[in-house]
């Protein structure tokens, strides 16, 4: 097994890990009880999964076809960048649109914070 | 309720920049690789859409003071114009030409009239998509 | 060169010039200028008599649409000359009459323009040799008659009468068109003369008899034959000069002319003989029968015209007996009927024209023409009375008036047909009786006309104006006609030899060569059956007249609502009502109904043919293998698609639609289409944004009220459409007939300098599509801007929102 | 493979038809959007060499390409569908705002016009 | 060089685009559009002459030889229609000048008209099936906008139905193209014809032809005309007239083209179905035409009847019948536009569209009344107006082919046409005058002159049918002999 | 072997997508569905990348990344819609 084959195997391995992670995070998305917890599964682990897979693919092409694309790296970075943001936004939207949390939720700090802020503003007027 | 969009704005500014760059790249590489006028235009348009979503119309208007209807019309004019252009050279309507030129710095470069045509296409796509979205949103 | 073609055109030109006359600059009534046209033409046509009576004919052609054998060919022979003389002669007299009849407050320019239009059209009909050109003029006569009937268009009855006459005559006209076209299809020529020459061959053709009936349909509608007669009484709403001219003397005779013209073609058919004769006799009887019950003088005359037209028609029918068993010199025996027909046609024009003018005078001077309000006018209006008497007695068939001669000849004809070896002998045997009864009825209404109007009590209180004699100008035309009525009685053979005999040669060209078709008309021909019949008519007529109050109840057996007239109105009314019901039943204005129709059509046409042609062969062997991933995506997409159906919120639906879009993109990737995958995703995203933007303005899905349609049908249609779509697609994939042309594009680098083939196709090979697509986008963009920014202006909404 | 995709398009068409036959205007528009997906996939399956061919971009490799013409057609068609969907949406919501109603049953208009 | 061929489409497109920049220069917009239409008519006339001497012309865009590129093919049939379209459009524009209103004109009205005409002309000229689809789309999109423009309640309500139905029909078109491409592997119309002739029309191809039939039946309003009557009555007069004159005709053109060029091998199936559809259209159209008291609906149902009539010619398929269809098509484009203009003018003058709410208009507007009078008879095909020769030839064809039912229906429908429009004449124009001279809305020349021009044309076409006959004959010959078309497209130089 | 693993990985992504689809279809809340769609988008990118290896082409690589970024737009649009109803504002009020 020469180096390039090694790298090829590594890349494939990365891809496989990514795929497995994707399935795991997908499991999360049905198993978790409410939207806030599900968004963890969807955005965090999923991002990792895609990151691994894409890296694997990138390495594969670099090793096998000696195709090195800066745009691809940029792309990976940006998927990495946008995915959490969208997760953040959608969760916030969910919160704002008053999607119920699961019953096992212990604490809702944001609610307190907003509550507090509104009270301050109310006083100010 | 006021929202804090710092994260969104920060990311969008970066992403839009990337999309713009990539759209230009896609547009230019379209002749030999996937891409082209349509796709370039669409991607560019989606960058604008992203801007509109993340910011607000007034702000973007100030930054990019185009009348997108005219952009679209200009694009269409360019596209159709290349058709008429070929008449000037006594060719059939819409005949495209390409050639290889030795340019300083760039080396042997292929220059084609398709590029002009596709520029028009891209402009129309951008102009129209933005016009549509803006028209809908601005309707009161 | 002054040809017959020009003679036809002159009235048209004059009609075009009439509106240009300025009332102010001319002191003289326009009518006098108009009068010049028919008068000049009459004189001109008279000059043809010598040559025509010596057997000459004149043909002249001006090319119109030679590609389809439609040429403006005129043919002047005996038959057409008689009609043309009637048209121009009576036209001239009517014009003079109208000058006094119509006050200058009326819209004279229109009146005379229509009149001239009619004159030209009528001349065109009689002179045309080309069937299509004849049809053209034929329809023009209908149109001009329509205009003239509706001359006082502010009257409801005028409009209705005009509409009725137009609908009936134009429908008949379409029959003629079809008949002519069939003849053309059989013979390959549009010329009537040539059609006549080929008749021996063409009569074998299957279309020959249908063509005959279609042409007869036209002739019958125009000549107001039963049951199409109903338009004629309604047409009496026209000014009286029009009634006298069009609706008694000329236009209604166009149908008779057509029958005469086509006797050489169809006369050999037994059906022709029976149809023409029977319809003519029925009309004769029905017209005279109904004339008696009329109280309006014009209506009485209208029905009498119907009756007389029926008589002439039946005589032409009887005359065709001569052609039944091959034309020979023996058959001359029967041709006498046609001779009588032509003779009576002339006579009828004279006396009926006079009578109409008389009624016009009465109407004009007294302000009414209701028989119940008239009486005792004989001494107050002596000249009118004289003319009326002459006309009526001629119509009744009394000597010494021309009507007597032709009525006698009519009796001769019906008696002669008894000798004809007919297939329907019983029916033939009845003919003389019908003829006789109808003649009796004719006598009765003639008596009614004269007696009720001019004798009895003078009821001034019922009149609008006191009775007095009409101005001489108005009396001029009827007097001339009355004089003619008498003159013809005394010198019938002048007409007979110079005009009718040449006309007979046109009607019976095959016999003309073998025997003399002329008939010597004599005022006295001994005590024969005909004379006794006439005496019988007089006796029975007087008896019936005197007993009229007793048997008038008969008419109650035919109440108004059973009449054909009522039938016509009912048909129109019902048509409107029913058609509205029918149309509303399927034009529900509900889009989903329309969609259902469209899909049903698709299912029937495509699905039906798919099954019946057996082209649903599907073979999946050549398919590429499917990987697990593809299975998963495809099945996911199917599930997603189906799940949209159950989604309760539109956002879910749009999300699933996005998923479908992504799925499609994935398949584009699998199918090696990077450009497409990219475009699809971007467009999908932009579309989603668009949906979301529009959703701001649209309400959320409510629980859908299903209107009328069961969901079952909706489901069934969807499944059927989907299935047919799929099976056809599979069959197409299975049965590819040719390779695609796209291998050519694989040289795109050499041809177009691009390595991306898709892009090269879009930008170069099929750049035109792309250019237009750009235009499509531009239209959408600018259009949406325009739609949104052009708000409805309140002032405009009124019409539609009512 | 082609068969699977064709069946998929068939399902899409069925669903879209069902939507188009409903009276809610938004469902109808959605239906038309799904219809265009189906049409594009259908055109794709009509090309030859679906999974065997190479991407229709010239490289140094050899081998047959997939059918490039359908791809060009689909690209054109995608853009047109987008334009039409946009117009439909805009007209739909303008109609809603003018009439206050959002389904075709209420948009029948007056029967005896 | 045949570049002239693209002008009937390219010039309006270019004008439409450029006029967007001249949004506020209404006079520029007006006269540019008008002149473009006239120029197109002139180009059409010139091309028509050239075709007579040189045969079918073609223009390969980008110089790509058929069947690989897109091309425009001009035979007599398409050029005749292009000329008529240009004239009709010019007249409608003339009418629009004085009636449409500034708010429309500033909303790119003239651009859309230009695009519409471009789409129509392109559909007539194109020799590529997919390009036909694109041209249809241009025409349809422009029509969507034109029908909605104004934004009145009814307008929106009806136009959304119009749009949805046309979206569906466009989808069917796309599917049909996909099927045909799948089995024949080409898009060039001549090439398709050639390939089909080579293998024969397999049952499957006949099935595909039914999909095409569905599409064109929808577009032309043959049997599937449900969308037509109400959607044509909502837009402004000039637009309605343009629609009534042009839109369905494109569908008819496409139907004739497709079923004479591609699917002519199995007439016993396809042409019979078309014949049945035409018959049903004639019947239901006739019923609809007499059903309503709204004069606009009467006019729109007359459009339906004419569609049935023209396609009787196609169903019959003899040379005479096809010639008749072409004559009638040209006649119908002109006279339907005229009818819509007149009806629209009447409504504009009286502010009502109901038959029984108006009367005696001829007293107030004599010229209008007489124009309507002529239209009545022209529509009914009464000679010597323009409808006559077409009706004659179609009927003759039906007789020769032995389609007596179609013949009877065609003629009977003429009676219904006559009756339906006669009612308008009798009720609206004749009768007691209701409008006193003070209340009279003045009828400006801008509305009258376009009607006069079209009336002149209908009379001229009737009397001068001979001048048209060589062209029509040539057009019918090409339609009936597809090899002429194929030769010209595939093998000439 | 590598091919098999790649196919296996691809199938796993397919399963992930199918599972996410379950969330889209059954919700229950809208954000749930949007999150699921976002996840599908990300997984699609991965799948496309793997397919690129299987097909053996680099042409998709440029493309798929743009797809990833573009998919981001629809998520943002959805979240804005959920939060505010309108996705684009004329003038921001904050």
CA dist list (Å): E171 to C752, E43, E174, E207:
31, 33, 5, 17
Burial of E419 (0-12, 13-18, 19+ CB in 10 A): buried
| Tokens matching residue B110 | 């292929």
Q: Are E423 and C572 in contact (CB under 8 A)?
A: no
| Tokens matching residue A66 | 């000696």
pLDDT exceeds 50 at position A125: no
Which chain C residue lies closest to E323 (C-alpha atoms)?
C68
E-chain CB neighbours of B123 within 8 Å are none
D-chain CB neighbours of F59 within 8 Å are 55, 57
Q: Are B95 and C753 in contact (CB under 8 A)?
A: no
Q: Residue C796's pLDDT band (boundaries 50, 70, 90)?
A: very low
Helix (H, G, I), strand (E, B) or coil at C749: helix
Per-residue model confidence (pLDDT) at position D110: 59
Which domain, by its residues, includes C463? 267-546
Q: Are C127 and C75 in contact (CB under 8 A)?
A: yes
Question: Which pLDDT tens digit goes with each residue over C762-791?
Answer: 888 888 999 999 999 999 999 999 988 887
Q: Span E403-410, mean pLDDT?
A: 91
Same domain, C56 and C100: yes
CA dist list (Å): B92 to C124, C613, C753:
55, 44, 18
CA-nearest of C496, C687, C761, B64 to E70 is C761
CA-nearest of C8, C73, C76 to C47 is C76
CA-nearest of C246, C250, C252 to C221 is C252
Q: Span C670-687, mean pLDDT?
A: 89
Per-residue model confidence (pLDDT) at position D113: 44
> Rounded to an integer, what distance in angstroms lies between the CA atom of residue E330 and that of residue D62?
54
Subunit contact E179:D46, Cβ cutoff 8 A: yes
F94 lies in a domain? no
Specify the number of domains making up chain C: 2
Q: How far does B72 lie from chain E, in Å, by closest CA?
A: 9
Chain B interface test: which of D55, D79, D85, D88 (most B C-beta within 10 Å): D79
Tell me, yes or no, if B112 comes closer than 8 A to chain E by beta carbon. no
**Of E445 and C556, the one with more pLDDT:** E445
CA-nearest of B28, E182, E64 to C761 is E64
Q: Span C121-131, mean pLDDT?
A: 91
Place of tokens 């499917």: C626
Rg of chain B over Cα atoms, rounded to whole angstroms, equals 18
| Tokens matching residue C365 | 């001077």
Q: Are C726 and D12 in contact (CB under 8 A)?
A: no
Chain D interface test: which of B32, B118, B132 (most D C-beta within 10 Å): B132
Per-residue model confidence (pLDDT) at position D78: 92
Per-residue model confidence (pLDDT) at position C605: 92
Per-residue model confidence (pLDDT) at position C798: 41
Per-residue model confidence (pLDDT) at position A122: 57
Question: Which pLDDT tens digit goes with each residue over C482-512?
Answer: 998 888 888 888 888 888 888 888 888 888 7
Subunit contact E229:C587, Cβ cutoff 8 A: yes
Question: Which pLDDT tens digit goes with each residue over A11-46?
Answer: 888 999 999 988 888 888 888 888 888 888 777 888
Question: Mean pLDDT in chain A?
Answer: 81
F58 lies in a domain? yes
Per-residue model confidence (pLDDT) at position C795: 43
Tell me, yes or no, if C736 comes closer than 8 A to chain E by beta carbon. yes
Q: Are C669 and F57 in contact (CB under 8 A)?
A: no
D-chain CB neighbours of F61 within 8 Å are none
Percent of residues, chain E, with pLDDT higher than 90: 60
Q: Residue B113's pLDDT band (boundaries 50, 70, 90)?
A: confident
pLDDT exceeds 80 at position B46: yes
Chains C & E: contacts with CB separation below 8 Å: 308
Range in C514-528, E42-56, E457-471 with the lowest mean pLDDT: C514-528
Name chain E's partners: 3 or more CB pairs within 8 A.
B, C, D
Q: Which residues of C595-605 are buried (b: 16+ CB within 10 A; e: fewer)?
A: bbebbebbbeb
Question: Which pLDDT tens digit goes with each residue over C258-277?
Answer: 999 998 888 888 888 889 99
CA dist list (Å): E385 to C9, E327, E370, E375, E376:
17, 12, 14, 9, 10
Is there an interface between A and C (3+ Cβ pairs < 8 A)?
A: no
Subunit contact F62:B33, Cβ cutoff 8 A: yes
Which chain A residue lies closest to F4 (C-alpha atoms)?
A12
Q: How far does A85 lie from chain B, in Å, by closest CA?
A: 7
CA dist list (Å): C202 to C183, C187, C208, E403:
8, 6, 7, 20
Burial of A115 (0-12, 13-18, 19+ CB in 10 A): exposed
pLDDT exceeds 50 at position C701: yes
> Rounded to an integer, what distance in angstroms lies between the CA atom of residue C323 and that of residue C335?
9
Sign of CA dihedral E360, E365, E367, E368: negative
Question: Mean pLDDT in chain C?
Answer: 85
Specify the number of domains making up chain F: 1
Sign of CA dihedral C90, C96, C102, C105: positive
> Rounded to an integer, what distance in angstroms lies between the CA atom of residue D72 and that of residue C762?
6
pLDDT exceeds 90 at position C217: yes
Per-residue model confidence (pLDDT) at position C604: 93
Same domain, C56 and C160: yes
A24-83 residues touching F, CB cutoff 8 A: 25-27, 29-30, 35, 38-39, 42-43, 46-47, 49-50, 53-54, 57, 60-61, 65, 67, 69, 71-72, 74-76, 78-79, 82-83
Burial of C480 (0-12, 13-18, 19+ CB in 10 A): buried
Beta-carbon-side half-sphere exposure of residue C384 (alpha carbons within 13 Å): 30
> Rounded to an integer, what distance in angstroms lies between the CA atom of residue E230 and that of residue E157?
10
Name chain D's partners: 3 or more CB pairs within 8 A.
B, C, E, F
Question: Which pLDDT tens digit goes with each residue over E199-250?
Answer: 888 889 999 999 999 999 999 999 899 888 888 888 999 999 999 889 989 9
Place of tokens 């449900």: E226
Subunit contact B112:C753, Cβ cutoff 8 A: yes
Tell me, yes or no, if C598 comes closer than 8 A to chain B by beta carbon. no
Strand partners, C128: C74
Percent of residues, chain C, with pLDDT higher than 90: 19
ipTM of the assembly?
Answer: 0.95
pLDDT exceeds 60 at position E306: yes
Which helix (H) or strand (E) segment is D103 a member of?
none
Per-residue model confidence (pLDDT) at position E458: 92
Residues 6+ apart with CB under 8 A from E368: E342, E345, E346, E349, E361, E362, E429, E443, E448, E451
C746 lies in a domain? no
Question: Which pLDDT tens digit goes with each residue over C708-749?
Answer: 557 888 899 999 999 999 999 998 888 888 888 888 888 888
Same domain, C70 and C166: yes
D40-79 residues touching B, CB cutoff 8 A: 57-58, 75, 79
F-chain CB neighbours of A79 within 8 Å are 42, 45, 65, 68-69
**Of E282 and C452, the one with more pLDDT:** E282
Is there an interface between A and F (3+ Cβ pairs < 8 A)?
A: yes
Which domain, by its residues, includes F12? 2-28+43-84
CA-nearest of D7, D15, D63, D9 to D38 is D9
Q: Span C69-91, mean pLDDT?
A: 89
pLDDT exceeds 80 at position C703: no
Helix (H, G, I), strand (E, B) or coil at C58: strand
C-chain CB neighbours of E432 within 8 Å are 154
CA-nearest of B125, A24, C583 to E286 is C583
Q: Three-class SS string for chain E?
A: CCHHHHHHHHHHHHHHHHHHHCCCCHHHHHHHHHHHHHHHHHHHHHHHHHHHHHCCEEEEHHHCCCCCCCEEEECHHHHHHHHHHHHHHHHHHHHHHHHCCHHHHCCCHHHHHHHHHHHHHHHHHECEHHHHHHHHHHHHHHHHHHHHCCCCHHHHHHHHHHHHHHHHHHHHHHHHHHHHHHHHCCCEHHHHHHHHHHHCCCHHHHHHHHHHHHHHHHHHCCCCCCCHHHHCCCCCHHHHHHHHHHHHHHHHHHHHHHHHHCCCCCCCCHHHHHHHHHHHHHHHHHHHHHHCCEHHHHHHHHHHHHHHHHHHHHHHCCHHHHHHHHHHHHHHHHHHHHHHHHHHHHHHHHCCCEHHHCCCHHHHCHHHHHHHHHHHHHHCCCCCCCHHHHHHHHHHHHHHHCCHHHHHHHHHHHHHHHHHHHHHHHHHHCCCCCCCCCCCCCCCHHHHHHHHHHHHHHHHHHHCHHHHHHHHHHHHHHHHCHHHHHHHHHHCC
> Rounded to an integer, what distance in angstroms lies between the CA atom of residue C790 and that of residue E232?
20
B13-32 residues touching C, CB cutoff 8 A: 26, 30-32
Q: How far does B12 lie from chain A, in Å, by closest CA?
A: 9
pLDDT exceeds 70 at position C1: no
Highest mean pLDDT range out of B21-25, B94-98, C720-724? Answer: C720-724
> Rounded to an integer, what distance in angstroms lies between the CA atom of residue F70 and that of residue E113?
36
B-chain CB neighbours of D79 within 8 Å are 38, 125
Tell me, yes or no, if F85 comes closer than 8 A to chain B by beta carbon. no
Q: How far does F90 lie from chain A, in Å, by closest CA?
A: 20
Q: How far does B59 lie from chain C, in Å, by closest CA?
A: 18
- The alpha carbon torsion through E436, E441, E442, E447 (nearest 10 deg) reads -130
Per-residue model confidence (pLDDT) at position C802: 35
Question: Which pLDDT tens digit goes with each residue over C357-410?
Answer: 988 888 888 888 888 888 888 888 888 888 988 999 998 888 888 888 888 888
Chains B & E: contacts with CB separation below 8 Å: 45
Residues 6+ apart with CB under 8 A from C18: C30, C33, C34, C109, C112, C113, C116
Tell me, yes or no, if F44 comes closer than 8 A to chain C by beta carbon. yes
Contacts of range D29-32, beta carbons closer than 8 Å, 24 or more positions apart: D29/D85, D29/D88, D29/D89, D29/D92, D30/C644, D30/C650, D30/C653, D30/C654, D30/C657, D32/D84, D32/D85, D32/D88, D32/E164, D32/E167, D32/E168, D32/E171
B-chain CB neighbours of C779 within 8 Å are none
Phi, psi of E343 (to 5 degrees): -60, -45
Chains B & C: contacts with CB separation below 8 Å: 148
> Rounded to an integer, what distance in angstroms lies between the CA atom of residue C243 and that of residue C303?
12
Strand partners, C74: C60, C128
Q: Three-class SS string for C626-663?
A: CCHHHHHHHHHHHHHHHHHHHCCCHHHHHHHHHHHHHH
């Amino acid at each position: 097994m020469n180096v390039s084959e090694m790298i090829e195997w590594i890349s494939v391995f990365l891809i496989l890990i990514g795929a497995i992670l994707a399935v795991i995070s997908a499991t999360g998305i049905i198993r978790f009880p409410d939207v806030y917890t599900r968004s963890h599964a969807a955005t965090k682990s999923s991002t990792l999964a895609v990151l691994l897979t894409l890296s694997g693919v990138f390495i594969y092409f670099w090793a096998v076809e000696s195709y090195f694309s800066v745009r691809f790296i940029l792309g990976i970075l940006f998927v990495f960048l946008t995915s959490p943001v969208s997760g953040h936004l959608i969760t916030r939207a969910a919160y704002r649109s008053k999607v119920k949390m699961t019953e096992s939720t212990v604490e809702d700090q944001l609610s307190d914070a907003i509550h507090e802020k509104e009270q301050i503003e109310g006083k100010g007027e | 309720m006021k929202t804090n969009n710092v994260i969104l704005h920060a990311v969008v500014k970066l992403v839009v920049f990337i999309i713009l760059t990539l759209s230009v790249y896609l547009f230019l590489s379209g002749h030999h690789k996937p891409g082209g006028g349509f796709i370039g235009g669409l991607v560019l348009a989606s960058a604008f859409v992203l801007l509109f979503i993340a910011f607000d119309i007034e702000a973007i208007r100030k930054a990019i003071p185009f009348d997108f209807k005219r952009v679209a019309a200009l694009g269409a004019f360019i596209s159709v114009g290349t058709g008429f252009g070929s008449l000037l050279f006594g060719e059939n309507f819409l005949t495209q030409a390409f050639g290889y030129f030795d340019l300083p710095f760039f080396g042997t470069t292929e220059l084609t009239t398709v590029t002009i045509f596709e520029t028009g296409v891209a402009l129309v796509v951008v102009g129209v998509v933005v016009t549509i979205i803006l028209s809908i949103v601005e309707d009161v | 060169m002054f040809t017959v073609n020009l003679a036809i055109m002159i009235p048209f030109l004059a009609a075009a010039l009439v509106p240009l006359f300025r009332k102010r600059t001319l002191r003289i009534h326009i009518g006098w200028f108009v009068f010049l046209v028919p008068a000049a033409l009459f004189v001109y046509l008279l000059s043809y008599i010598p040559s025509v009576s010596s057997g000459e004919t004149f043909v002249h052609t001006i090319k119109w649409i030679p590609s389809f054998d439609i040429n403006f060919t005129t043919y002047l022979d005996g038959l057409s000359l008689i009609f043309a003389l009637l048209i121009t002669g009576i036209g001239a007299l009517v014009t003079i009459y109208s000058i006094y009849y119509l006050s200058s407050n009326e819209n004279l320019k229109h009146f005379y323009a229509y009149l001239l239009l009619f004159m030209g059209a009528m001349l065109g009909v009689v002179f045309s040799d080309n069937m299509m050109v004849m049809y053209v003029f034929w329809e023009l006569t209908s149109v001009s008659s329509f205009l003239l009937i509706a001359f006082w268009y502010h009257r409801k009855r005028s409009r209705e009468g005009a509409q009725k006459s137009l609908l009936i005559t134009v429908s008949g006209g379409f029959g003629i068109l079809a008949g002519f076209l069939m003849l053309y299809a059989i013979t390959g020529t549009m010329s009537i003369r040539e059609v006549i020459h080929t008749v021996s061959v063409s009569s074998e053709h299957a279309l020959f008899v249908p063509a005959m009936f279609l042409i007869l349909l036209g002739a019958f509608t125009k000549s107001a034959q039963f049951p199409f007669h109903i338009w004629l009484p309604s047409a009496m709403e026209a000014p009286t000069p029009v009634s006298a001219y069009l609706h008694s003397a000329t236009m209604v005779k166009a149908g008779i002319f057509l029958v005469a013209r086509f006797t050489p073609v169809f006369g050999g058919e037994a059906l022709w003989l029976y149809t023409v004769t029977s319809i003519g006799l029925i009309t004769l009887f029905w017209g005279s029968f109904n004339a008696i019950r009329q109280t309006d003088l014009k209506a009485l005359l209208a029905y009498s015209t119907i009756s007389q037209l029926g008589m002439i028609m039946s005589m032409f029918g009887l005359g065709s007996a001569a052609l039944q068993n091959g034309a020979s010199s023996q058959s001359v025996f029967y041709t006498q009927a046609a001779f009588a027909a032509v003779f009576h046609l002339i006579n009828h024009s004279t006396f009926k024209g006079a009578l109409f003018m008389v009624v016009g005078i009465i109407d004009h001077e007294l302000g009414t023409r209701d028989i119940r309000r008239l009486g005792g006018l004989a001494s107050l209006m002596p000249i009118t009375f004289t003319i009326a008497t002459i006309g009526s007695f001629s119509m009744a068939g009394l000597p010494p008036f021309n009507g007597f001669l032709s009525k006698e000849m009519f009796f001769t004809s019906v008696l002669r047909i008894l000798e004809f070896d007919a297939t329907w002998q019983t029916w033939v045997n009845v003919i003389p009786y019908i003829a006789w009864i109808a003649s009796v009825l004719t006598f009765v209404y003639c008596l009614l006309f004269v007696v009720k109007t001019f004798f009895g009590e003078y009821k001034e209180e019922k009149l609008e104006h006191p009775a007095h004699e009409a101005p001489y100008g108005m009396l001029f035309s009827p007097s001339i006609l009355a004089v003619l009525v008498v003159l013809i009685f005394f010198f019938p053979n002048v007409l007979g030899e110079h005009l009718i005999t040449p006309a007979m040669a046109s009607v019976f060209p095959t016999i003309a060569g073998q025997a003399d078709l002329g008939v010597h008309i004599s005022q006295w021909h001994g005590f024969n059956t005909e004379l006794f019949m006439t005496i019988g008519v007089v006796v029975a007529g007087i008896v019936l007249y005197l007993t009229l109050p007793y048997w008038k109840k008969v008419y109650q057996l035919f109440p108004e609502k059973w009449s054909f007239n009522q039938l016509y109105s009912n048909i129109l009314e019902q048509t409107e009502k029913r058609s509205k019901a029918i149309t509303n039943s399927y034009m529900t204005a509900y889009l989903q109904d329309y969609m259902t129709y469209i899909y049903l059509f698709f299912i029937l046409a495509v699905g039906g043919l798919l099954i019946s042609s057996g082209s649903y062969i599907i073979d999946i062997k050549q398919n590429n293998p499917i990987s697990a991933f593809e299975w998963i995506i495809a099945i996911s997409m199917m599930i997603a698609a189906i799940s949209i159906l159950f989604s309760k919120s539109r956002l879910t639906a749009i999300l699933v639609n996005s998923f479908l879009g992504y799925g499609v993109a994935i398949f584009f990737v699998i199918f090696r289409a990077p450009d497409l995958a990219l475009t699809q995703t971007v467009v999908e995203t932009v579309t989603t944004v668009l949906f979301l933007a529009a959703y701001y303005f649209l309400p959320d899905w409510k629980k859908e009220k299903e209107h009328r349609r069961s969901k079952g049908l909706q489901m069934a249609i969807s499944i059927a459409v989907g299935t047919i779509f799929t099976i056809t697609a599979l069959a197409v994939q299975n049965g590819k007939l040719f390779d695609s042309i796209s291998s050519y594009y694989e040289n795109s680098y050499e041809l177009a300098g691009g390595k991306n083939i898709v892009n090269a196709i879009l930008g170069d090979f099929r750049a035109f599509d792309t250019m237009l697509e750009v235009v499509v986008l531009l239209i959408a963009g600018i259009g949406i801007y325009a739609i949104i920014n052009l708000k409805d202006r309140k002032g405009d909404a009124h019409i539609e929102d009512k | 493979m082609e068969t699977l995709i064709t069946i998929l398009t068939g399902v899409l068409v069925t669903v879209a038809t069902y939507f188009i036959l409903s009276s809610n205007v938004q469902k109808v528009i959605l239906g038309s959007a799904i219809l265009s997906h189906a049409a594009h996939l259908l055109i794709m399956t009509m090309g030859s060499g679906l999974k065997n061919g190479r991407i229709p971009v010239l490289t140094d490799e050899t081998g047959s390409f997939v059918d490039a013409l359908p791809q060009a057609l689909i690209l054109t068609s995608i853009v047109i569908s987008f334009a039409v969907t946009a117009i439909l949406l805009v007209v739909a919501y303008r109609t809603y705002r003018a009439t206050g109603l959002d389904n075709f049953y209420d948009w029948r208009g007056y029967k005896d016009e | 060089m045949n570049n002239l061929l693209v002008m009937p489409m390219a010039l309006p497109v270019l004008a439409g685009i450029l006029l967007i920049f001249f949004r506020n220069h209404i006079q520029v917009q007006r006269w540019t559009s008008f002149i473009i239409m006239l120029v197109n008519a002139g180009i059409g006339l010139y091309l028509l002459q050239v075709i007579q001497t040189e045969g079918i012309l073609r223009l390969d865009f980008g110089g790509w030889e058929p069947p690989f590129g897109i091309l425009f093919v001009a035979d007599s049939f398409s050029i005749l229609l292009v000329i008529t379209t240009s004239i009709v459009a010019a007249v409608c524009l003339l009418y629009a000048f004085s009636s449409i209103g500034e708010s429309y004109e500033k909303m790119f009205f003239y651009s859309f008209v230009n695009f519409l005409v471009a789409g129509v002309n392109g559909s007539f000229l194109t020799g590529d099936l997919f390009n036909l689809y694109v041209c249809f789309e241009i025409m349809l999109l422009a029509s969507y906008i034109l029908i909605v423009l104004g934004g009145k309640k009814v307008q929106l309500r009806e136009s959304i139905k119009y749009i949805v139905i046309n979206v569906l029909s466009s989808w069917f078109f796309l599917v049909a193209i996909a099927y045909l491409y799948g089995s024949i592997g080409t898009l060039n119309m001549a090439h398709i014809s050639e390939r089909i002739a080579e293998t024969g029309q397999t049952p499957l191809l006949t099935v595909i032809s039914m999909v095409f039939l569905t599409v064109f039946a929808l577009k032309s309003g043959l049997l599937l005309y449900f969308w037509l009557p109400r959607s044509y009555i909502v837009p402004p007069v000039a637009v309605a007239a343009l629609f009534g004159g042009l839109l369905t005709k494109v569908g008819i053109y496409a139907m004739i083209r497709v079923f004479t060029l591609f699917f002519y091998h199995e007439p016993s199936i396809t042409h019979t179905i078309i014949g049945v559809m035409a018959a049903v259209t004639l019947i239901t159209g006739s019923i609809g035409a007499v059903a309503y008291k709204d004069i606009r609906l009467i006019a729109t149902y007359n459009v339906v009847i004419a569609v049935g009539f023209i396609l009787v010619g196609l169903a019959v398929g003899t040379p005479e019948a096809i010639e008749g269809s072409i004559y009638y098509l040209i006649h119908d484009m002109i006279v339907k536009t005229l009818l819509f203009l007149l009806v629209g003018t009447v409504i504009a003058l009286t502010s009502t569209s109901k038959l029984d709410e108006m009367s005696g208009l001829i007293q107030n507007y004599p010229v209008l009344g007489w124009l309507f009078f002529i239209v009545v008879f022209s529509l009914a095909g009464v000679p010597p107006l323009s409808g006559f020769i077409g009706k004659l030839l179609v009927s003759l064809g039906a007789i020769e082919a032995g389609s007596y039912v179609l013949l009877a229906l065609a003629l009977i429908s003429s009676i219904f046409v006559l009756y339906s429009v006669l009612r308008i004449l009798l009720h609206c124009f004749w009768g007691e005058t209701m409008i006193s001279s003070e209340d009279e809305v003045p009828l400006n020349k801008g509305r009258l002159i376009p009607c006069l021009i079209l009336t002149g044309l209908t009379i001229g076409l009737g009397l001068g049918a001979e001048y048209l006959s060589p062209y029509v004959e040539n057009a019918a010959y090409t339609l009936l002999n597809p090899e002429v078309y194929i030769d010209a497209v595939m093998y000439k130089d | 072997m590598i091919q098999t693993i790649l196919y296996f990985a691809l199938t796993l992504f397919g399963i992930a997508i199918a599972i996410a689809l379950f969330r889209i279809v059954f919700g229950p809340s809208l954000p749930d569905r949007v999150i699921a769609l976002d996840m599908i988008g990300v997984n699609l990118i991965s799948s496309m990348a793997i397919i690129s290896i299987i097909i053996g082409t680099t042409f998709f690589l440029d493309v798929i990344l743009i797809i990833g970024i573009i998919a981001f737009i629809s998520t943002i649009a959805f979240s804005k819609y959920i939060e505010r109803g309108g996705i684009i504002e004329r003038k921001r009020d904050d």
